[in-house]
Chain A
Amino acid sequence: MTLDSQMTLGNASVNGVTNGAANTTNDDEPIVRIENLTKAFGNTYAVDDISLTIHKGEFFSLLGASGCGKSTLLRMIAGFEMPTSGKIFIDGKEISKVPAYKRPVNMMFQSYALFPHMSVEENIGFGLKQEGMPQSLRQERIDEMMALVQINKFSKRKPHQLSGGQRQRVALARALAKHPKILLLDEPLGALDKKLREKTQFELMNIQDRLGITFIVVTHDQEEAMTMSSRIALMREGRVEQIDAPRRMYEFPVTRYAADFIGLANLFEGHVVSQHNDDVVIYSDITGGQIRVHYSQPLLPGMAVCVALRPEKLLLYTEHKDEANRIQGVIKEIAYLGDVSIYHVELASGYTVKFTQSNILALAEQPLTWGQTVSLGWHSHSCGVLTQ
């Protein structure tokens, strides 16, 4: 009961944020502010001069390939690594030098790090015990947490008597028990199988929504980040490549790396021919012709740029004759994925373009086959220009 009443408070503010996650109007102090944060191990920079802010109630993902520094960044927020330079503020207070056990954040570990000699209840109550919360209140909170993640049945069990999925829930409950301002999650779904992972993704979002706690998640799985996050920070070699809402991240990547890392992308290198208003003409050797792109930032003629085009934005020219851009090639490979098929089309330049088609009909009337020559077109609004 207490949980619910507390949660309604959080709910209101969360909804305000999540509804307008992409264009938040948060001008109050961010819950996390990171300024020029750097962590060096010897000569290598795991985190290299990162500055970012995270707002209250956000579901913020740190996304990147292994070794990009995302875990180090998370560990610095938790207090397990001390920054080489730079500052971390939580709720306006600098905590860069505060030891881990005094920080108002809790972490869910990738390995879960459940205490093997303690029961589920004792694990969940551990943090509360450290606070000196009286036994009766503590039990109440433990019960709330177990109900929240649906593990009441296993309260007396030891971690080794639980399945992987159950352990994950205990770890989550333990990290949430103290009602931290921020919950840090290190690859929270990494150890689960695919089906369970997808189910748990939505549960995590649900719990985050109900509790109104700011979540910072480290993941290497772009699909996971896209599904859950209100914003994603894409990291590469210790630096932030791009911070954006999932939709903007996908539709408007700002660098070649970002375009390539998230989803599939066809990248056509070329140079600017002209720009009239928002209409840009780019010449690319890859497509062997001019590409018309809608782009509002000013570009200089002759500038080397890259056109990024998502595979699903390509349409069969036979059906869509009014598209601004057109290419032709031969189908070399087809990957049937069930819902869609990915076609590899080789252009005259030798470049392979990927395009996808939904498999709407079980048996298409005119299925595309290997060796077939196809004409593909796309709209000038469907692709982006990358300058980095």
Chain B
Amino acid sequence: MMVEKFSQLFKAKNAIVAIPWLWLAIFFLLPFVFVLKISISEALLAQPPYDTILREVDEGLITLKINFGNYLLLFEDSLYFEALLGSLEIATLSTLLCLLIGYPMAYGIASAPKAWRLTLLMLIVLPFWTSFLIRVYAWIGLLKANGLINAALMAIGLIDEPLDILYTNTAVYIGVVYNYLPFLILPLYATLVRLDRTLLEAAADLGCPPWRQFLSITLPQSMPGILAGCMLVFIPVMGEFVIPDLLGGPDTLMLGKLMWMEFFNNKDWPLASALAVVLLVLLVVPFIVMRHYEVKATEELS
């Protein structure tokens, strides 16, 4: 009886553990296999616009046709490398900007009286109740030549003619930082709010002035939160399409935008898929490395 019960329990536990794995297999791994398949096939003017890689030639004879040409093209044509650099630049810089703006905010919320914290957090999350797309569109209204910002600056006499912000990289930075800031603040807040304040007292007691307390205690102690927040900003921005497309100009060269163009403008699904695979690999590897470091850091803190 007992043994049976145990084995049942064991099975139930397995089933529960299996659910997320199953989820990942169906909604991540399987689509990825499709994308991988398309990336190694040849483009066709057909519906769907790519060739199958497995074909029955004769009875029982199957040919496997793999085309690495898409990948080769990615490395041969400098456009893709430039787009990668562009994405890297925008993702890195906007992550840094988010950190610079978000850290003081997260710190402020974590140091606020307990009764205030929830309200302040709500204020951070509040914009999310509006659709992402609408929020990006709203920036067009704010940034355009006769938009609110230019009109205001001209009205107070700070500038004589409207600033060219919209359809430049500056607009992309504004859009990215605005939209991704909460993703950095929330994990950072979670780390900072758990920070043991007696550690700061101990540091002060040993002769450490406040600014150095921050550098030698608060900053290293909040590293897991910084890493998590930065990843949550950096990774999606690398593949970001909507913001550069709506706010960026012709100079804005990003992988996400390029991918969209290959898919919908050039109808070159295999090339776009190859691009997607390369981006995924480029992101997953550093992610695993960082994750490893983060797990180690969290273990040390606990």
Contacts and interface: CB of A to CB of B under 8 A. Distances in A.
Interface of A: 78-80, 99-102, 105-107, 109, 111, 113-117, 126-127, 130-131, 158, 160, 174-175, 178
B301 A127 contact: no
A126 B208 contact: yes
Interface residues of B, number: 21
Given A109-B198, A111-B198, A158-B300, A116 B205 contact: no
B14 interface: no
Contacts of A127: 206-208
A106 B302 contact: no
A113 B196 contact: yes
A115 B198 contact: no
Contacts of B210: 101
9 contacts: A78-B201, A100-B201, A100-B204, A113-B202, A116-B199, A127-B207, A130-B207, A160-B300, A178-B206
B87 interface: no
Which 8 A-B pairs have CB atoms at the shortest separation, nearest pair first? A127-B206, A113-B202, A130-B207, A100-B204, A113-B198, A101-B204, A117-B220, A107-B205
B212 interface: yes
B150 interface: no
A109 B201 CA distance: 9
Contacts of A79: 204-205
Interface of B: 196, 198-199, 201-210, 212, 216-217, 220-221, 300-302
B214 to A, nearest CB: 13
Nearest to A184: B205
Contacts of A113: 196, 198-199, 201-202
A182 to B, nearest CB: 12
Nearest to B217: A115
User: For B196, B198, B206, B212, which residue has the most chain A Cβ atoms within 10 angstroms?
Assistant: B206
A105 B207 CA distance: 9
B206 A116 contact: no
A78 B205 CA distance: 7
B200 to A, nearest CB: 9
Nearest to B196: A113
B221 A117 contact: yes
Nearest to A159: B300
A187 B24 CA distance: 51
Contact of A131 (B205, B207, B301, B302): B207
Contacts of B206: 101, 106, 126-127, 130, 174, 178
A111 B202 CA distance: 10
B212 to A, nearest CB: 7
